Amino acid sequence: MKTNSLLFLLCFFILNAFSQTSYNQQWPSFRGPFGLGYIENSKPATTWNIETGEHIKWKTQIPGLGHSSPIVWNNFVFVTTAVNTAAATSLKVGLYGDIDEANDSAMHEFKVYCLDKNSGKILWERLAHKGIPKSKRHTKASQANCTPATDGKYVVVHFGSEGLYCYDFKGNLVWKKDMGLINPGFFAAPGIEWGYSSSPIIYKKRIIVLCDIPKTPYLVSLDLATGNEVWRTSREGEVETYGTPAIFEKDGKAQIVVNGFKHAGGYDFETGKEIWKLANNGDIPTPTPVIVNDLIYLNSAHGKFSPILAVKTSAVGDITLAPDSTKNKYIPWSVKRGGAYMQTPLVYNGLLYNLQVNGQLMCFDANTGEMKYKDSLKDPFSASGVAANGKLYFSSEDGNIFVVQAGPEFKLLAKNPMKDVCMATPAISGNTLFIRTQHYLVAVE
């Protein structure tokens, strides 16, 4: 082989390795790369002290109220918020079952922030929209629930009824799109609105958005550079859902997976055609699907059903389980009751961790469904868990970050108070944990 060819191959492998390592440290959307909730080669702190500043890299105040998670790309951190211009926005946390709506009748500013990853300095802020919210929210929700998404060039933010916006990394508005009225609530109480929370995801220069709204539920694919619609698939018959789509690629074909009560299922990435579906899940589906090692994990818990299901990525057709069964051709295992209402499961190093709103944490063998342990963190939870370096991080509504040792036996390593409400799922990049509290964005390193 000629010297030039050897040099070319060497450069190719070095650049490819650098690119892969670089991407592995990005947190581009809700729960990080492909929604898995973890990254490799990261060593965040186990303990810290928000009052003394121990292991606190920076702490930046973010005005308004937003439950969207931060995302990270290279040295940039992005987050959204909705600012009530008349008064402090109300928020009611804790374990309660009210279906009440918040009073958001005042003018709101829907904003996007870009911060420096290393210093926490706000590099720019943009006012995406100003107006009285077009749809209402639950007393525990916000008007900025959806986590942004980025591909390293564009940043896409979704404010539900207030529209979808695309910015470049300098804060220039590339395009905006009116998505119409997006007002999910509870199908059993028509007219109740709880706030939209399904985050956009980006894959191969497309944006995937799930809009399971009361009258015309649909899944849509948009061109990233222009916002133009590529395809739209009706999810007629589905009730309101709140989870973010997930995506995987197998044998050269990409598939979108969404949670649902009547129509959890998979769709062809290129055409939007339904590939498989299943019913009889929790009737307010919120957790995001997780795909690991050719298995799709679905989780939900409200109403009659609260299953955890492992679905093969090769599934086709209607794969709904028979009433007396826990498995079939495409579902190697399932749990009839025990799923989570709000939290996306964390599948990490061969184990599935299922955290419920009351703090009960269950650990299963991800391949067989065998339960390894059941213990309690005692606090109420809405945020989903994340992981790094053999440790699991769970943020409670009471503002405590629980650090649990990954493994088949329960071991609590630390409980770190943030002294503020925590509703958002953390992000990880490098050795830094980015925690969004009600009033701040905090970098722990």
Tell me what the mean pLDDT of segment 332-355 comes to: 97
For 312-329, b/e burial (b = at least 16 CB within 10 A) is ebebeeebbbeeeeeeee
- If phi > 0 it is left, if psi is from -120 to 50 it is alpha, else beta; for residue 338 that is left
Tell me what the mean pLDDT of segment 224-231 comes to: 98
Is residue 63 in a domain? yes
| 18-27 confidence digits (pLDDT tens) | 334 455 689 9
Residue 22: what pLDDT? Answer: 57
Is residue 2 in a domain? no
Is residue 254 in a domain? yes
Residue 23: what pLDDT? Answer: 58
91 CB contacts (<8 Å, ≥6 apart)?
Answer: 65, 139, 140, 142, 421, 438
pLDDT band per the 50, 70, 90 thresholds, residue 435? very high
Is residue 423 in a domain? yes
Is residue 8 in a domain? no
Report percent pLDDT > 90 for the chain: 93
Range of the domain at 187: 26-444
Indicate if the pLDDT at residue 42 is higher than 90.
yes
Residue 25: what pLDDT? Answer: 83
> What's the domain count of the chain?
1
CB 65 within 8 A of CB 102: no
Tell me what the mean pLDDT of segment 336-340 comes to: 95
Is residue 56 in a domain? yes
DSSP code at position 3: H
**CATH number of the domain residue 327 falls in:** 2.130.10.10
Is residue 413 in a domain? yes
Tell me what the mean pLDDT of segment 174-199 comes to: 96
Indicate if the pLDDT at residue 376 is higher than 70.
yes
Is residue 427 in a domain? yes
Indicate if the pLDDT at residue 44 is higher than 70.
yes
CB 415 within 8 A of CB 379: no
97 CB contacts (<8 Å, ≥6 apart)?
Answer: none
In angstroms, the CA 396 to CA 424 distance is: 9
